[in-house]
Amino acid sequence: MPEIKFYKHDPLPMEMHKVKIVQKLNLLPAKERLEKMKEAGFNTFLLHNGDIFMDMLTDSGVNAMSDNMQSAMLRADDAYAGSETFYRMRDKLEEIFGIKYVLPTHQGRACEHIIAQRFVKENNCVIMNYHFTTSKAHVTRLGARVEELVKDEGLIEKSNLPFKGNIDLDKVRACIEKEGADNISYLRLEAGTNLIGGQPISYENMKEATDLAKEYGIVTVLDASLLQDNLYFIKTREESMKDKSIREITRMIADLFDIIYFSARKFGFARGGAILVRDEEMFHSMEDYITMFEGFLTYGGMSVKEMEAMIIGFDESMDMDIISQGPQFIKHCVDVLDNYGIPMVTPGGGLGAHINARQFVDHIKSEEYPAGSLVTALYLCGGIRGMERGTLSEERNADGSERIASVEMVRLAFPRRVFTLSQTEYVIDRVKWLYDHRHLIGGLRFVHEPKTLRFFTGRLEPVSDWPEKLVEAYIAEFGEDQ
């Protein structure tokens, strides 16, 4: 959707829907939020949703469904085997992606588990533009490693480059030559790189990277979980694609890959996942994993109601009016905060607005988790739950030392069709207040540290009484009841 013009002021992002069902929000006073944060071990994943005002943790499984999605749920065909719902889903995916073999799974990481089980061998390497936490964990669990070959510019937080998720083709070739093609399990491209700010990858780069992989006989895999945002960016930022429809662009992308998988908690606005496999033999070689780990081949652990909803959601993901809204809200949030001088990842990408925590709280050392500390402070000062995406989300090196993340960010996710502009303005306001009081934020340390994916369930404590002092300053500004 092009921006809607206003008579009296600059364009604003516009909701292209009306609200039919609402959920009441709860804004706890700051002192109560401090108590809840202590109970949650200073880990925002362990907060209860009822204690959160603006849940911007993720866009995963929390996107709003449309009326058409809800009504489609009524026609779900409950059957352990051979559900008509599955065949409708399979046909819709074939219509959109042109791939007829579909393996259903319960969510995105289940796809990653199965693809890794099928292709990864010990000491192998998987080439990616950038990793996602679960996509990497499934590879390393099997004794292989990930080579992240995003172009250097992708890691520069502030720029106006349109495709910061692009992979560096020279590095890909050098990596293949060094490792030997037989030792590379697959090339995985993530369309809309989650961990570096939802930054997109261009069609041209996907084409060149997959051509290179094919030259060496390497399997090509697309993680399409964030494809809908990436499609918007290709259409609006890639000159050669601007006259193509979203459906045409999707098919051109799909034609490049042997395997496409996605989390339908994102792509499809519902909850589930699927692996699309081009080659029949390859498809059969993966079926057993579905029946072993997910469920029967016609539901894969998903509820058939969700599957019916996502069939409509796939079509909605091909609608430019619908997929424009997220990136436009994110751009608004990023641009206003950037104009305030707050270190944001620019340009705004998909999925959420990303704050450069390393700069925001540059007095906190990496070992005390700047992004983790900032995310804690944001909950205390506004009831906003963002997600830490930095050193806390990394796993330690083999010698026990911290692996310092190359990018230290806080993500404020914009679940699709969920928040209004006034809620977005509230978030902007509280981030600005926090920036002006950033010297009050201190670090965190672990008191319980799981070995794998520690950010999900680990418990922490502040290194001083900074949370109390921060809350005091907040109350002095906004009053006891906010």
Single residue of 13, 41, 104, 108 touching ligand PLP by CB under 6 A: 108
For ligand PLP, which residue of 44, 66, 185, 225 counts as binding (CB under 6 A)?
Answer: 225
Q: How far is the CB of 463 from ligand PLP (least distance, A)?
A: 29
> Can you tell me the distance from the alpha carbon of 19 to that of 466, in angstroms, rounded to the nearest whole number?
40
In this structure, the strands spanning 444-448 and 459-462 are antiparallel
Distance CA 115, CA 92 (A): 22
Question: By rule CB under 6 A, what string of x and - marks binding of each residue 10-29 to ligand PLP?
Answer: --------------------
Cα 161 to the center of its chain, rounded Å = 20
Residue 230 binds ligand PLP (CB under 6 A) = no
Q: Which of 85, 133, 134, 210 is catalytic?
A: 133
- CA dist list (Å): 315 to 89, 92, 304: 11, 8, 17
Interface residue with ligand PLP among 33, 109, 131, 164 (CB under 6 A) is 109
Give the chain's end-to-end CA distance (angstroms, integer).
Answer: 36
Q: Please confirm, yes or no, whether 133 is among the known catalytic residues.
A: yes
| Shortest distance in whole angstroms from residue 154 CB to ligand PLP | 15
Nearer to ligand PLP, 191 or 374 (CB): 191
Q: Which amino acid, one-letter code, is at 61?
A: G
Active-site annotation holder among 266, 271, 416, 438:
266
CB of 81 to ligand PLP, least distance (A): 24
* Binding segment toward ligand PLP, per CB under 6 A, in 105-113, 139-147, 236-244, 428-436: 105-113
Instruction: Count the residues of the shown chain that bind ligand PLP, applying the rule CB under 6 A.
Output: 15
Asked if 417 interacts with ligand PLP (CB under 6 A), we say no
**Which residues 266-325 are close enough to bind ligand PLP by CB under 6 A?**
273
Q: Is 266 a catalytic residue?
A: yes
Whether 13 contacts 331, CB under 8 Å: yes
Look up 223 and say whether it is catalytic. Answer: yes
- The span of 78-86, 107-115, 137-145, 209-217 binding ligand PLP (CB under 6 A) equals 107-115
Minimum CB separation of residue 128 from ligand PLP in Å reads 10
Among residues 420, 427, 388, 358, the alpha carbon closest in space to that of 43 is found at 388
Stretch that binds ligand PLP, among 25-33, 35-43, 102-110, 233-241 (CB under 6 A): 102-110
Active site residue 414: no
> Which C-beta is closer to ligand PLP: that of 109 or that of 430?
109
Q: How far apart (Å, rounded) are the C-alpha atoms in residues 366 and 343?
A: 17
CA angle in degrees (0–180, nearest 5) for 152-155-158: 115
- Annotation marks residue 132 as catalytic: yes
Site for ligand PLP in 124-153 (CB under 6 A): 132, 134-135
What's the token pair of residue 236?
């609006």
Before 467, cis peptide (omega within 30)? no
92, 136, 151, 265: residue in contact with ligand PLP (rule CB under 6 A) = 265
Which span (106-114, 169-177, 208-216, 452-460) binds ligand PLP, by CB under 6 A?
106-114
For residue 263, state whether it binds ligand PLP (rule: CB under 6 A).
yes
- Minimal distance, residue 9 CB to ligand PLP, in Å: 35
Q: Minimal distance in Å, beta carbon 136 to ligand PLP?
A: 10
Among 44, 47, 57, 60, binds ligand PLP (CB under 6 A): 60
> Strand 101-105 and strand 444-448: pairing?
unpaired
Catalytic-residue membership of 360: no
CB of 427 to ligand PLP, least distance (A): 20
User: Closest approach of Cβ 362 to ligand PLP, in Å?
Assistant: 28
Q: Rounded CA gap, 214 and 10, in Å?
A: 47
409-413/444-448 β-pairing: unpaired
Count of residues for the chain?
A: 482
Residues identified as active-site: 80, 132-133, 223, 266, 389, 455
- Contact residues toward ligand PLP (CB under 6 A) are 60, 107-109, 132, 134-135, 190, 194, 223, 225-226, 263, 265, 273
